[in-house]
Amino acid sequence: MITVGVEEEYLLVDPHTGVPAPLVEAVSRTAGLGPFAERDEVQDELLQAQVEVATPVCRSLHEVGGHLLRLRHAVASAAEATGCRVAATGAAPVRGFAPVPVTPSPRYLRMEGEARRLVDEQLICGMHVHVGIPDRKTGVAVLNRIRGWLPVLLAMAANSPIWDGQDTGFASWRTIVFGRWPVSGPPPHFGSPAEYEQRLDALVASGAIADRGQVYWHARLSERYPTVEVRCLDVQLRADDAVMFAGIVRALVATAIRDEESGTALAVTAPEMLQAINWHAARHGLNGTLIDPLGRPHSSGDVLSGLLEHIGPALEDAGDLRAVGGLVHRLLQVGTPADAQRRALAEGGTPRLIELVTGSASD
């Protein structure tokens, strides 16, 4: 069984106003001392109003779900004990007048010095899925074969439509904010593993980025673990949707490995087309058409059906087909988390929106 792990980022907010609260040190310390989380499972992020959790390496989606519920409960309880709440949203729906302080690590302080305004606006939270691979050669082949599906995942996971109390018109505003860094968006196609390493080395040598950690492609090879890391997803309102994406990403990786080993022909999507597809996914989510990996517009239902057909054998091999298929069907029926945020804002204004994104963090 191919292993999988999940990282989730959350905002810490004032329970009444929703304004980001720079209390990560107290929240992390409280969560790490509690009975539900180990200290190294709860981590700081760029800004002091963000906190990240990381599951252990898992072999089943049941494990993933159990760990996510445990960690969400740990940080939500710690936040309440510290006087704030955890918000499971891809972007801060409201912001205060003063910038949130940066976490005082040398790396983060250097980023602040180089991109002040951009760092100030990094009040965004994602979900990262790590899937185990046998070696980096296989990993590069996987990146080449999954890159066309990443905008589809982005559209499904959209959870950041509101910024400064206003509807941005985008289902995933987080994608737009993150896209302003020097190296971001869909990854390019690589001719070989050596080319992948050479291109990353050249980016760092140029001085445009400080290290490989600032290669913010929507999928990349982890520099710390033997994994492919998919990073295009907004953090999810519901833990079971996060589990769904863990299953989909693992099945995409397993399918890519199978196709590479069998010599299945690969249709390479042009970078400008993939960038356009990605923007379209961030703009619309599942409302309207989706563009498939070959650049053809279809209904969202048809593209998601094509995704499930593509990864179906891998889902079945892992015992995940029924669970993941059911969650994808629910997503098509009820809409994305971005749709839920918009409904909440329309029905009850900012208070109802804050209630939604903070109440779901421990679900």
pLDDT at position 141 over 70? yes
Number of structural domains, the chain? 1
CA distance 39 to 104: 19
Write down the pLDDT at residue 318: 97
pLDDT tens by residue, 66-110: 999 999 999 999 999 999 999 999 999 999 888 999 999 999 999
Write down the pLDDT at residue 37: 61
Question: Where are the alpha helices (H) located in 267-299, listed in sequence order?
Answer: 271-284
Domain that residue 319 falls in: 4-362
Write down the pLDDT at residue 39: 65
Q: What is the CATH number of the domain that holds 241?
A: 3.30.590.20
Total-model pTM = 0.96
Length of the chain: 363
Alpha-carbon radius of gyration of the chain: 19
Question: Can you read off the two tokens belonging to residue 286?
Answer: 């599942």
Q: Is residue 20 a contact partner of residue 100, using CB atoms and an 8 Å limit? A: yes
Write down the pLDDT at residue 1: 81
Average pLDDT on 5-15 reads: 97
Q: Is residue 143 a contact partner of residue 187, using CB atoms and an 8 Å limit? A: yes
pLDDT > 70 in the chain, percent: 97
Provide the mean pLDDT of the chain: 95
C-alpha angle with apex 272: 267 to 275, nearest 5 degrees? 95
What's the start-to-end Cα distance of the chain, in Å?
27
Q: Is residue 268 a contact partner of residue 276, using CB atoms and an 8 Å limit? A: no
Question: Can you read off the two tokens belonging to residue 47?
Answer: 């800004």
Write down the pLDDT at residue 360: 58
Question: Can you read off the two tokens belonging to residue 333?
Answer: 């029926």
Nearest of 149, 203, 197, 198 to residue 181 by alpha carbon = 203
E strands, the chain, in order:
4-13, 42-44, 50-54, 85-87, 126-132, 162-163, 166-167, 184-185, 216-217, 219-221, 227-234, 289-291, 297-299
pLDDT at position 362 over 50? no
Please state which of the ranges 116-120, 124-128, 342-346 shows the lowest mean pLDDT: 116-120
pLDDT tens by residue, 205-224: 999 999 999 999 999 999 99
What phi and psi values does residue 38 have, to the nearest 5 degrees?
-80, 155
CA distance 237 to 336: 10
Average pLDDT on 109-121 reads: 92
b/e map of 30-66 (b: 16 or more CB within 10 Å)? Answer: bbbebebbeeebbbbbbbbbbbbbbbeebeebebbbe
Average pLDDT on 25-48 reads: 80
Write down the pLDDT at residue 35: 62
Coil, helix or strand for 172? strand
pLDDT at position 29 over 90? no
Look up tokens 């379209």; give the residue: 280
